[in-house]
Structure 1
Amino acid sequence: MRTLLDRQVYVCYGQIYVESDPEFEGLSLDEAFEGQANGLCGAAVPGALWLITGLHTGAVAFTVEVHEEPPPLAPHWQEAVEVPFRPLSEDVGLAEWGGGAFWDLDLPVRDYRVRYCARGMDEARDQDTRLDGEPGSDHYLLQFWPAAPAPGGILRRTSGTAAYWHAEFVTEPEGAAR
């Protein structure tokens, strides 16, 4: 396992992105989550991921890791979703909203499975905005490992915030059991 990023990152409007297209001009929330099986990590646009956070505005703890094989899902993560991802170039990075900071993720172009984990989303949503010097309540982990493309899904859902976003974007097939 390699840790590519482990720091506080700034989110705005409860979002941050992974981008890999040098000509990327942004995407819409609806585009990112179209046809997705979760509401936290939108992977519908090739080479991009749209990541939802509980905090609306401010710094959140964020870690990015790359693994050689699927890592175990640690029990302290309250939310976990998985999606397929393939960068469009080797210029892959975590990008703040509105063209803010960009952190290189050093990922070769290949197919990956991505797991996005969170904890403290409800507390962060209640906090709404985190000012400098205030304690943070939400933490995020983004894990990549080589894997053939496969449908995404929800592995764990415990918070009302995650439930809200899943309900916004996930449409169950007609007649599916609830």
Structure 2
Amino acid sequence: MTTDAAVAREWLESWTDVPGLEGLVVKNMNQPYRPAARAWTKIRRRDTTEAIIGAITGTLTRPQLLILGRHDETGRLRTVGRTVALRPDAARQVAEHLAAAGPGHPWEGVRFAAAWGSRDVLDAVLVRPELVAEISADRAVDRGGAFRHPLRFKRLRHDVEARDVAGFGQGPATAVG
């Protein structure tokens, strides 16, 4: 426990390199834990990384969310997460480069959960899995290698090809470029 912001910042940067540690909890010094109460604040470390856009919600001209993937060790495109709603400027940027998926998309017949652990399904539109998105992600990754919390779209990475994106299950890693 510390009251020194510099020490807390150092902990956030160094301790979250350990698998399973997502961030810090901020609370008053004498504040006890209360089950089912949201009295404490969790600060998660966020890093940037890349993922392949494999599907969207909305339309090709007005995408709302991006459904992202990475290739596993066999080369199969696996879902790693989805973004929060795109800002209008980001949606326009992405729409300019989207193309409808042809037959043989690796996610044909796949249903995407609306939220982690949810039974609700997203109405997804498959796209050609060629565009690479730079995303911001926290450190929470499930055992299957997917991000547990929604991702934040940062920009398209025209300088990175889909085949060069980090492999499935590698979690967040600081982006280069």
For normalisation by structure 2, the TM-score amounts to: 0.30
Q: For the pair shown, which has the larger CA radius of gyration, 1 or 2?
A: 2
Higher relative contact order (CA 8 A, sep 6+): 1
Name the structure where strand makes up a greater proportion of residues. 1
